[in-house]
Amino acid sequence: MHLANFPRARFAHLPTPLEPLPRLSAALGGEFTLWVKRDDCTGLAGGGNKTRKLEFLLGDALAKGADTLITQGAVQSNHVRQTAAAAARFGLACEVILEQRTGSNAVDYNGSGNVLLDHLMGAKVRTTPGGSDMNAALAAVADEVSAKGGKPYVIPGGGSNPIGALGYVDCAIELVRQADEQGLVIDRIVTATGSAGTHAGLVAGLGLIGADIPVLGIGVRAPKETQEANVHKLAVETAALLGHPDRVTREMTVANCDYVGRGYGLIDDQVIEALKLAARTEALILDPVYTGKGMKGLIALARQGVFKGETVVFLHTGGAQGLFGYHSELEGHLG
Ligand SMILES: Cc1ncc(COP(=O)(O)O)c(C=O)c1O
């Protein structure tokens, strides 16, 4: 297991801080200790979890001589914003396909937040209706680029393939080293889980270094069975890329998908409560789609006593830029 075997472009601000959240812990009853791993501070055009994945994906793209990055996501995709940023940083063209996944017609959702930054960084943006075959759409754009003599590199949604997930193998190693240095015994890691690469990379990384720390993914879209199967498959593939698929077992993959609410990218009162609580106790700015939902789940589980006596690390995967796409929905609820 040696990450240095893989080409990597270096642009993330690492290591990201590992910080206690004493005021939020107290607000949740004080029966457990909550810390945060600040992957919202990875530094690429606002940062977030995709930056770590993109270090390896860009490394691969550059090694293959690509001149155009192609990817897809929801209109307010943080992954698309960070891919556009990486392309700008390395002088590559960037073609993105945004899926109207939430069905929102709001001006801010469709023009502000992440999508505004995609345009600002020079990505060529196309939109497609919800439910489109996004893999076919990616392939069609890649064919178009090739037909014009370009060299496309297709990054799957969320950057979630084994190469991208190496970024979260690296994060697992970084987090355990930091905890060891600080004398912090971590009982559990909690993270939002969507396209699965973050969760899978963490599980693979922890398994590969033999750290016995469970990871709880709070789902933002798929039902539990689907999410756990996706994460497990990708964790095994990632560990296999590093030579040790046997280090990941099915039991290591745990997702709770009870907090998705009305659907992907749709907010509710509990998400707004989570956004407000984190902001008002710790000045921690979460996002409406992922970390807000992850924190909604964490808060609910904390109130059920699930974490009693534990030290829990919440992985802040970023996304605050997306808040500005939700202005009209949040307005009037921030009192
Ligand atoms: C802010 C944020 N958190 C969490 C996630 C979920 O990570 P993953 O797609 O690797 O499961 C995403 C994915 O887009 C994200 O943008």
Give the residue carrying structure tokens 């178009």: 144
Confidence (pLDDT) at 124: 98
- Tell whether the model's pLDDT for residue 271 goes beyond 80: yes
Question: Which pLDDT belongs to residue 330?
Answer: 96
pTM above 0.95, yes or no: yes
DSSP 187-214: -EEEEEESSSHHHHHHHHHHHHHT----
From the CA of 113, how far away is ligand 1's center (Å)? 16
**pLDDT tops 90 at residue 1:** no
The CB of 47 under 6 Å from ligand 1? The reply is: no
Show Cβ contacts of residue 270 under 8 Å, excluding neighbours closer than 6 positions.
259, 261, 296, 299, 300
Q: Which atom of ligand 1 is nearest to the CA of 160?
A: 10
Residue 262 has a pLDDT of 96
* Per-residue pLDDT reduced to its tens digit, 40-91: 999 999 999 999 999 999 999 999 999 999 999 999 999 999 999 999 999 9
Q: Is the CB of 198 under 6 A from ligand 1?
A: yes
Interval 194-225: pLDDT, tens:
999 999 999 999 999 999 999 999 999 999 99
Angle between the N-to-C axes of helices 78-90 and 113-120, in degrees from 0 to 180, rounded to the nearest 10: 20
As a whole number, the mean pLDDT across the chain is: 97
pLDDT > 90 in the chain, percent: 99
Q: Is 49 in the pocket of ligand 1 (CB under 6 A)?
A: yes
Q: What is the mean pLDDT of residues 175-187?
A: 97
Q: What angle do CA 258, 230, 64 make, to 5 degrees?
A: 135
The conformational region for residue 234 under phi > 0 = left, psi -120 to 50 = alpha, else beta, is alpha
CA 264 to chain centre: 14
Active site residue 104: no
- Whole-number Å distance, alpha carbon 130 to ligand 1 midpoint, is 19
Q: Give the Å distances, CA to CA, from 47 to 37, 65, 199, 312.
A: 13, 25, 18, 23
Task: With a cut of 90, say whether residue 116 has pLDDT above it.
Answer: yes
pLDDT of 27 reads: 98
- pLDDT confidence of residue 114: 98
Ligand 1 atom with minimal separation from the 287 CA: 1
